[in-house]
Amino acid sequence: MRKRMKKMGLLCCVVLLIGCMTGCSTEDTKTENADQTKIPSEEKKGENGFIGITTSMYTNEAIGEMCDIIAENLEREGYEVQISDANFDQALQTSQIEDFINQDAALVIIEACDSVGVKSAYQKCRDAGIPTLSVSQVLDESVADLPTGILTLDNYKGGWIVGEEVAKQMDYEGNVCVITYDVAYVCRERSDGFKDALGQYEGIDILESFDGICTEDEAMKKTEDWLQQYKEIDAIYGSNTNAATGISAALRTAGLQEDIIVCDVDGQPADLRNMESGAVDVIAVGPILELAEESSKAAIQIIDTGECFEDPQLQFSLCTKENLDKWKNYWGMD
């Protein structure tokens, strides 16, 4: 059943849960330099030591804000903090971590590009006797025992609540296509949760789940292909903001923006702007601000004690147009 036939009478169920991002996201919001390094001003540099933060994509609004909050909190504790952007290049991220090691970092905080490929970087830190904190990214089992501490979001549940809401908006029948990016395990878990939620309903068919898309252009092209390939699509899922933006662009060009539900798991400001313009219908919003605060506390605990509290697995929350203002306020959007 098409979206325009279902808009009236839909009830929004707001589910507040605990939960990363990230996967990948908006590419042009914070910086145009793929290898940007943010170095605090001299007056902010502390005397307690040096902490390095490396992130998969600082230009992602949510991840960039998370890194900034962590850096500010740690600077107030008397540390010099450097944020380096790997721009989804695992080799570059490993090089950045090696640089942090050479600077005798008291702690290295890693939001990994690749859930498996980051292993050698963690091992280098362990060999150098430098503690590490993994933030946001879900790590492969072969890597998970290397960080001193791990803080994540419950990405599977984020995908699940989006799937439940989409199923409801489809009246529990119809056809769905899925875009994911499984090299980033946060995206894999989100997509698994979404597909498992839909799998409860016999009337819903997943026409195709396509892996390997992380940019708007790729998502737009794949959506265009699907529109040619399938006669009827009722919803398309993207595992991050970029995918949802590309999906909606293709639908807008085809004149189908009002006919097909667009959904994703991410919830950064760009997502909310997309929803406000009618481009996206269902979002799971990750509590990135809370993750930043918890990560700051964990960083200090690791430095002080060599140990970290248990991963809180913070939960995502459902966002639809009915409660959009709540999440705009969360991000301080006008």
Kindly report the CATH number assigned to the domain that includes residue 45.
Answer: 3.40.50.2300
**Per-residue pLDDT tens digits for 83-109:** 999 998 999 999 999 999 999 999 999
Assigned domain for 17 exists: no
Query: In terms of residue numbers, what domain contains 166?
Result: 3-12+155-287+319-330
Mean pLDDT of the chain: 88
pLDDT at 334: 76
**Per-residue pLDDT tens digits for 233-244:** 999 999 999 999
- Give dist(CA 217, CA 61) in Å, integer: 19
- Give dist(CA 24, CA 47) in Å, integer: 34
Assigned domain for 249 exists: yes
Assigned domain for 23 exists: no
Measured on CA atoms in the order 194, 198, 204, 208, is the torsion positive or negative?
positive
pLDDT at 184: 86
Interval 296-322 mean pLDDT: 97
Interval 244-257 mean pLDDT: 96
Residues 120, 215, single domain; the answer is no
pLDDT at 88: 87
Residues 122, 160, single domain; the answer is no
Angle at 248 between CA 251 and CA 276, to 5 degrees: 125
Residues 159, 278, single domain; the answer is yes
Interval 258-270 mean pLDDT: 95
Q: What is the CA radius of gyration of the chain?
A: 20
pLDDT at 18: 33
pLDDT at 60: 86
Q: Kindly tell me if the per-residue pLDDT of 216 is higher than 50.
A: yes
Give rounded-to-5 percent helix, strand, coil for the chain.
Answer: 40, 20, 40
pLDDT at 228: 97
**Per-residue pLDDT tens digits for 122-159:** 999 999 999 999 999 999 999 999 999 999 999 999 99
Residues 59, 139, single domain; the answer is yes
Q: Kindly tell me if the per-residue pLDDT of 250 is higher than 60.
A: yes
Residues 145, 190, single domain; the answer is no
Assigned domain for 220 exists: yes
